[in-house]
Each structure stands twice: as C-alpha cells, then as structure tokens.
Amino acid sequence: MQSIVSNACGCALLVDARRSSRYSSAIFVRIRADEELFFASSSSFQRIVKTPFELLIGLTYTRAGRRGRRRDRFMSFISGISVASIALGVAALIIVLSVMNGFQKEVRDRMLSVVPHIEVASFRGPLGDWRTIADDLLRVPGVRAAAPFVQGQGLFSSGEVVRGALVKGVDPELEPAVSGIAESVEGPDGLAALGKERFGVVLGRDLARQLRVNVGDKVALIVPQGSMTPAGMVPRVKQVRVLGLLSSGHYEYDSTMALLALEDAAAVFRTGGPQGLRLKVDDMNRAPEIARSIMPLLPSTAYAVDWSQQNRTWFAAVQVEKRMMGIILFLIVLVGAFGLVSTLVMTVKEKQSDIAILRTLGASRGSIMGIFIVQGTIVGLVGVAAGVALGLLVAFNVGAIVSFIEGLFGVAFLPREIYFISSMPSDPRMSDIVPIALFSFLLSLAATLYPSWRAASIQPAEALRYE
C-alpha cells in the first residue's frame, strides 16, 4: 500500500511509513510540527489535509528558512533576492513607461493647442463656398466647431536678420472654438488684436526673439508671390506690426509660426479666399475615423488630414523609443527570472532525499514537478504584485518625489525655461500595466519548468544511496 504525505501545518515534514503484519492495512505518518511528533493514521490524515499535497509542500519549501537550518536560510535569502529583482524590474517598467506617457501627453496637448484635430484643405485654389461646406461638416456626429484658414510660406525681416516662417491666416472670432491658440497668445488684446488692426501679426515667441522684436515693433513680411516687372519677378513686401507673441511651449511652432488675420493673409498671398477649414471633434482619438467619414462631403479638390497624420513621424519615433525602453528594462525582470531558476535548482539539490521518499511512496513525476512549479509561481506572484504596487505608488507621486529631490539637492531636472513644465509628468495606463504584469508572471512561470523537470527526473535509488 502506498501513501503520499504532505505537511498540513506548513512546517518541515518527516515521512516514516511503516508496515507490519499486525498493521498490514494501516500507514503511520510521523510529522514534525513545532518540534513535537504525533502519529496519525491515513484515514485521519486525509480528514486533516483537504488541499493538494503539491501545494502544501511547495508552500513549505517557499517558507523554509524562517526557523530552519542555516542552509535553508541561505536559500530563503536567494529566494528573496529573486522576488526583489522581479519586483524592481516590474516597478521600473511601470514608472518609466508612465513618465514617457506623461511627456507624450504633454507634447501632444501642446501640439493640439496649435494644430486642429482635423484639417480640411484644398490643393487647388480656394476652398470655394466654405460656409456651406462648414455647415455640412458640423452636421457630422462628433464635429463640434469649424473655422477657416489661409496658409503660406514667408520671410520676416528685421534689420539684418531674416527668418523663414509658416504664416497662417485665422479668423480671430472663430479660431478659439477649434484650437487653443487664443490661450497661448501673449499681448494686450491677445488673438482678438488681429481683428482690430489691419496687417498686424502675432509672432512665435522664439521667432520674435530671433528677429529681436517685441510687441509694438514693425517687421517686413516678404512673400514669394511677387509682381512681374521689367527687371523680373519682384517678391512683394508688406510692413506688419507685432501685436502679440505666441507661446505654445513647443519650440517647433514658437520658432516658425506667425499669425495674420484671415482677410490680411488672403490679400498678402492672393488666395482669393480661405484655403481650408480647421475642425474640432468631441474625442480627439476618433479624429482619424471622423476624417475618413467626412471625405465624401468634400469637393473633389479637397482632402482631410487628422492631427496624428500631421505629426506621425514624431509619434512613430516616440512609440519606437517606448518599445525599446520597455525591452531594455524588461531585462531586469529577466535577471530576476534567472535568479528564480538558480533558487529552484538549489532547492532541488537540497531536497533530493525528500523527493526520493515521495517518489517511493507513489508520487508521480507530475506531482514532483507541481511542487516546484508552486514554489516558483508563489515567488513570481509576490514579485509581480510587489512591483506593480511599488510602480503605481511611485508613478502617481513622481512629481512630488522629483520636487523633493530637487529641493534636497538644489538641482533642476526640468528647467522651466526649456521644458515649460512645472513638474514631472506621469500617465500610468492599464494598457501598459496589464501586459507588464502578465509577461513578468509568465516569465517567472517559465523559469520554473527546467528545475521542476530536473526534480521529476531524480531516481529514488540514486538519491538515497548515500543517505
């Protein structure tokens, strides 16, 4: 008669199966619990133990070292290092990706303060009856507002300094409904100043600094659409007065953009009217879908492009950087998984005699594998759970932590004059956290397979030969 024995109290077990002619149908199990020995028959033992013995023995090996031998304490220490490695790897992944998400969100929001959600443009002359087209587009579900625009390239000259710029003509009354440009304009009357004075301009802050001008100064606007003279093509030059400064916090726009009133820009570039419409939608994440849906409503000479397509190179670069950073930091979790492998291998080596006894009592190879898979799974679960908790704790408080470190050491990680950000941004997302936790746990689970297979392959006779 064979019996498989487990420790119900979670302590180290000592198995002693005895047979005698008098007790041919009974098996006695000697269990050491808190250094007291008691005997139980197989029937009473079954009533005590209601959980699989693989789970109980796996828990016992995981907790070994608290009151065990010095060797068990060393193995428990190695197991703790494995848990810490996995936890630190998971936490680092969550923190870094959350900060990258925060920076991406900040840059995106600053872009959308200048760039509309959807831009409808004509590639051949003016848009035509733009008011009718705007009314049709406003009936599309999800479209909230529309405003006309004119766009062209120009040169600004002030003294000996000449700088190129993207000149946009906007309607001061309708533009605030489709973008945050009005909130980014610094000046006495803000964006509304363009409607109060003919041929006034709002320059990007960095562009104005390069031209060495300020609000109230005059600059020369040179456009390529010139006039034909006996001396050849002469570009047109128009004197404009600086009415405000655009400070979006995005250098690309602040150094290359200038705003004119819609009528003034149409007159300077001789477009004959607005060249397109700027649209705002309810959900910017649905902008690509809405842009495709409005295409049938547009003239054959017009097209629609959403904000993600206008800056797809930048967003693609950010996604590649995010993936590579995730792969690099995932190596920390991999180090923890290797530590888990070494821990289980040492445990298997130490518990050879116990494994051999269990095998002689009838434990299958699958049961032996299950014992060490349970041990590795517990280590992986604890490490992943601790890493997720630590990562979320730091990610949600990274701004306060960075501010404390800056105040403690007198350093500035994010100079305000460069980044225009007062605190470290962070945006933890479930779409990042769930895959991190899942892959880390699966990696920990995979790390248990080889040591478990080695344990199941132990031959009882060989293991007990020198015992």
What rounded mean pLDDT belongs to the chain? 79
pLDDT in tens, 216-234: 899 999 888 766 666 666 7
**HEC letters along the chain:** CCCCCCCCCCCCCCCCCCCCCCCCCCCEEEEEECCEEEEEEHHHHHHHCCCCHHHHHHHHHHHCCCCCCHHHHHHHHHHHHHHHHHHHHHHHHHHHHHHHHHHHHHHHHHHHCCCCCEEEEECCCCCCCHHHHHHHHHCCCCEEEEEEEEEEEEEEEECCEEEEEEEEEECCCCHHHCCCHHHHEECCCHHHHHHCCCCEEEEEHHHHHHHCCCCCCEEEEEEEEEEEECCEEEEEEEEEEEEEEECCCCHHHHCCEEEEEHHHHHHHHCCCCCCEEEEEECCHHHHHHHHHHCHHHCCCCEEEEEHHHHCHHHHHHHHHHHHHHHHHHHHHHHHHHHHHHHHHHHHHHHCHHHHHHHHHCCCCHHHHHHHHHHHHHHHHHHHHHHHHHHHHHHHHCHHHHHHHHHHHHCCCCCCHHHHCCCCCCCCCCHHHHHHHHHHHHHHHHHHCHHHHHHHHCCCHHHHCCCC
Report which of residues 203 and 420 the model is more confident about. Answer: 203
**pLDDT grade for 71, boundaries at 50, 70 and 90:** low
What pLDDT, on a 0 to 100 scale, did the predictor assign at position 208? 92
Task: Reply yes or no on whether the pLDDT at 32 is more than 60.
Answer: no
Average pLDDT, stretch 259-274? 89
Task: Reply yes or no on whether the pLDDT at 284 is more than 90.
Answer: no
What pLDDT, on a 0 to 100 scale, did the predictor assign at position 22? 31
Report which of residues 26 and 79 the model is more confident about. Answer: 79
Q: What's the predicted TM-score (pTM) here?
A: 0.70
What pLDDT, on a 0 to 100 scale, did the predictor assign at position 360? 83
Range in 210-219, 294-303, 404-413 the model is least confident about: 404-413
**pLDDT grade for 466, boundaries at 50, 70 and 90:** low
Report which of residues 4 and 393 the model is more confident about. Answer: 393
What pLDDT, on a 0 to 100 scale, did the predictor assign at position 387? 93
What pLDDT, on a 0 to 100 scale, did the predictor assign at position 3? 41
Range in 42-56, 237-251, 323-337 the model is least confident about: 42-56
pLDDT in tens, 125-165: 788 788 899 999 999 998 999 999 999 899 999 888 999 99
Average pLDDT, stretch 276-292? 90
